[in-house]
Amino acid sequence: MPRAHRPSAEFPAHLETLYREFPFARSFADDPVSCLRPLATDPRSAEASGVFLATLAVGQTAAIRGAFARLTERAGGDLATAVRHATAANHGRLLSPFQHRWIRGDQMGYLALRLRTLYASYPSLEALFLEGLDAGDFAHGIDALARGLRGGAGDPPSPPGYAALFPTPLGAPRSPCKRLTLYVRWMVRPRFPDLGLWSHVPAGELRVPLDQHVYWIAYHLGLTRRRTRSWAAVEEVTEALRRIDPLDPTRYDFVLCHTGISGDCPKRRDLAVCGPCSVRADCRLWRGRAAA
């Protein structure tokens, strides 16, 4: 059996160099979180709009930002207003017509209705998340958020495919729950590029939103041995990064994600691109192999 690939002793310093030299300004403009920064002075609007944005976070970043802009335009320029106006009678047509990949306007209208219902019971979605976190751990917090957004018995029936938009890490197949985990990172981390609107969830409790780019890089750096994206892989990657920064383990997520999105990591041996990379020596494609 081949020996497991693990980070080198020098990896923390290499990762810190990658972080320190990363062109944040270039990638921030391309990241969906840039859509939320203008709303940061209105916590309720940013929190509600962030749920829509995270739900739409499928596919290329430009398409996600475009979809969010179109949905916001359908809402008259303010998704928080759509939440306030959502009713059991009008939610099906509130944000129709709209389409982003497989996500439809009737589903987004139902999400507006669910948010209005939740805000009638909770001062913020942080309180809902904390119910789960306090009862178990971060996965239970995501589960509480997902269940609240899906709704249940006594609620109007949801549109086809709606519940699948909000998986939970506690049920089969133990989804990585990238979108809700990303949403919580936006709300909790008080440092750029995140908003830090939730003050009762420690940043050290966050988990890495494991998209395809972060997973590929994390696997090749030895941060997980899992061969598929799963909640177990989320925990492994996060724990590896927590050993480097216990108080803020998701600090490196943005950098790893956009290293993949930008093409700075070509996901193959290419010395012209990989040569300057500070973590090249830790990558399983290069470690122990000549550069030629």
Q: What is the pLDDT of residues 233-270, one digit of tens each?
A: 999 999 999 999 999 999 999 999 999 999 999 999 99
Question: What one-character-per-residue DSSP string does 259-274 give?
Answer: HHHTSSS-SS--HHHH
Instruction: Please answer whether residues 67 and 83 qualify as being in contact, where contact means their C-beta atoms are separated by less than 8 angstroms.
Output: no
- Which of the residues in the chain have pLDDT under 70? 1-3, 289-292
Helix H or strand E encompassing 232: helix 231-242
d(CA 70, CA 75): 9
Single-letter code of the amino acid located at 201: V
Residue 174 backbone zone (phi > 0: left; psi -120 to 50: alpha; other: beta): left
Alpha-carbon distance of 18 to 276, in angstroms, equals: 10
Q: What is the DSSP string of 202-221?
A: -GGG------HHHHHHHHHT
State residue 291's pLDDT score: 59
d(CA 8, CA 278): 13
The pLDDT value recorded for residue 2 is 46
Angle between helical axes of 61-74 and 105-119 (0-180°, round to 10):
70
The structure's pTM equals 0.95
The span from the CA of 32 to the CA of 43, in Å, is: 17
pLDDT reported for residue 275:
93
Asked whether the beta carbons of 74 and 116 are under 8 A apart, the reply is no
What is residue 23's DSSP assignment? -
Per-residue pLDDT tens digits for 142-170: 999 999 999 988 899 999 999 999 999 99
- How distant, in Å, are the alpha carbons of 44, 84, 129 from that of 109? 18, 11, 22
Nearest to 57 by CA among 71, 49, 68: 68
pLDDT at 171: 83
What's residue 172's pLDDT? 78
Q: Which residues contact 217 (CB under 8 A, 6 or more apart)?
A: 256, 259, 260, 265
Residue 59 CB contacts under 8 Å (≥ 6 apart), including other chains: 100, 101
**Structure tokens, 76:** 């008259």
